[in-house]
Structure 1
Amino acid sequence: MTSMDLGQSEKVKPLIAAVREIVREKVLPLEHEYLSEVGKAEGGRFAFTQRQKDILAELKGMAKEKGLWNFWLTDSDRGYGLSTVEYAYLAEEMGWSPQLGAETFNCSAPDTGNMEVLERYGSDAHKEQWLGELLEGKIRSAYLMTEPDVASSDATALAFKAELDGDEWVLNGEKHWSSGAGDPRCKVYILMAKTEGDDAARHSRHSMFAISAEHEGIEILRPMMVFGNDDAPHGHMHIRFTNVRVPKDALLLGRGRGFEVSQGRLGPGRIHHCMRSIGQAERALELLCKRATSREAFGRPLHKLGANYDIIAECRISIEQARLLCLKAAWMMDQGDMKAASIYISQIKVEAPRMALKVIDEAMQMHGGLGVSQDTPLAEMYSGVRTLRYADGPDAVHRMVIARDELKRYTNR
């Protein structure tokens, strides 16, 4: 059996140090100012103020100048050629700033997954139209899969229709939780639609498309709220398509192959999300410890009150456990057998957000009322990580996958 090396390679160590320095020294000090600008633009909440544009330009320009760009491109001659394990360490560092960390290095969701789709499955025309500008960080994208009227955790139930009419596909239906579609820079959608009849096999009824976000008939109905927050200017939009006509060659890979494309996209993305959530947990634990050692109550430092020693210890143990599981999932993915890797990806997809939520919650508790206010990043981190328990498959679905695999050795099912 191949030796399982989950450590930091000599290749990635200097990259980790460089990314950490930029995130800690440049990104985090600008995070609060960037967020405080939301809603101040003349174009409304889903527009950027000049100051936000300047911050993004400064950070992205710095990263690009240093060659710290497009790390996520594993197995590609367009990127660094990193393994998934190597990239996982970088994703953790970027996770310290959920708002700006990944975008600084052009490693943001959903763009990374969408670029991977375009690179793997897109035509030369798709790549020429969108991939180049995405890789340059000049435009953004959205992934349109979830629907309001079906249980989208069972993706075979998706009902959004695409019907071929001559040399065009006609799209009708609604999508919601379309993350990134609120961004005015969003120019391309990767969209799943039902193209085949019910007589086709369940996993061969849907197809994937790459389409312009600017077609006539596309209507953004509203931003979906997350704990009362619209996540502007990124947004998770509810979108209606009414007789939207797109070229025949908007189809990716082939008719009925949507699930093949989506699985190729979701595996890496789930690991990226999980490592970023581990970065958030590390930041939350740092905030917790700084608060615990700098404040007093009842005449004693906070860390000496109640069960706080135990709480801090349990947080550290949980982070280390989750990181190792995530790295194992990344290593399994690097072996090239996605079926074998999928069980570990499901495990970390359940555990990493659950762990990060617990650590963030303990940090919030240590800060008292301040912990749920705008004066720390903790409340926003909590909201985002809680939402991650739905994104890319809810916990219940991943647990079902894990349990079925575990039971194979005991049953014939």
Structure 2
Amino acid sequence: MTPRGTASTSRPAVRKAAGARLSGIDAARGLALLGMMATHIFPTFESNAQLTPTWVGLVFSGRAAALFAVLAGIGLALSTGKQQPLQGPQLWAARRGIALRALVVGAVGLSIGGLEVNIAIILVHYAVLFLCVLPFLGLDVKRLLVLALGWVLVTPALAFLLRPWLLTAEPPLQLGHNPKWEDLSTPAVLLGDLFLTGYYPVLQWIAYLLIGLAIGRLALTTAAVPVLLLAVGTGVAVLAKWLSVVLMEDWGGRAALQASLLDPSYPLESLLQVNLAGIDQTGSAWWLASSAPHSGTTLDLLHTSGVAAAVVGVCLLLGRLVQRTGRDLLLPLRGAGAMTLSFYTAHLCVMASLYGQPLPSGWTVDGIYWVQALTILALGGMVAALAWRGPLEWLGHAANQLGRYRPARVS
């Protein structure tokens, strides 16, 4: 956008950096969406007795969803003061707006929760995460980092202690399906599933939003911060995975877990690489030493958060590079990232229409993915070029503006 009127020579550079930041964040969100779609469409295990992990399972499982959650925290930080968090009445207005937007997201999630589809839908958990971090929106980056570190260290152990109690309750506090409107009639089961026993346990996943809030409070428009995110994120991700390998293989963790399984023939090695969500992680404290995707352990949170920070750093650097070329090469990707709620919902509806049906004649799994991905990129680029909002994004924005509204005082 060209500044109106006469401006100082420094102003275009400031706007240019801001544009690079926004395009990088939206591009990262677009990547997260495409990665989550890949885990929904492509198999994450080969159909053999060993359940050999596929490349999609090894690359995207757990990481794409975590990136999505970290970016949610970044978005909250950018909308509540960036480096200087809002305070006082402005902060309370922002909290009201975010709460109403979360209700819109939750309503969408509950509405599509009844779809027959073999996909864990994140939207209701996403909405609850927004509500849970409202008290932390006024914190600065140092306090957020300390809080996030404590959350990463403490909540996995707390979940490990509480989860067996919830699962042995009568009835068990676990849904076994995506949350839907009917589940509001059993609030204890719904809340138990959302916070501890479900696919995206909110108790541990709050850490992702806290980390995202801390990243969003940094000076993202500078050249140093993206490099820092890339370096630190990569280091944390590698260190967490290395430590887990040492604990599992050298210190006997995997053997102990294999012995604790009810079915010793279960391919634990493959599950530790791709997805531990369907395993009853009780009976042995060694479960806490895993870094497996969707295990919700400290090392899992550290590894996936590190990957997310590194991806954000790369996308911010790409945004700056593209800005210098004068060509918006990230337009399709950042357009998709700016409409994730609409595109994610549409993707789920498409997958529900295909669920349990043979593939259309001449179609392959690869084709189903790429048709959806390219359609999303094309539509996202068009909407971004026109500076429009997606339909569900418009609804969420309207709810946010309604919550932030503060009537003028009558003197």
Question: Is the structural similarity TM-score above 0.5?
Answer: no
Instruction: Flag the structure with higher helix content.
Output: 2
Which band: TM-score by shorter chain? under 0.3
Give the TM-score taking structure 1 as reference length.
0.25
Asked which structure has the greater RCO (Cα within 8 Å, sep 6+), the reply is 2
Instruction: Flag the structure with higher strand content.
Output: 1
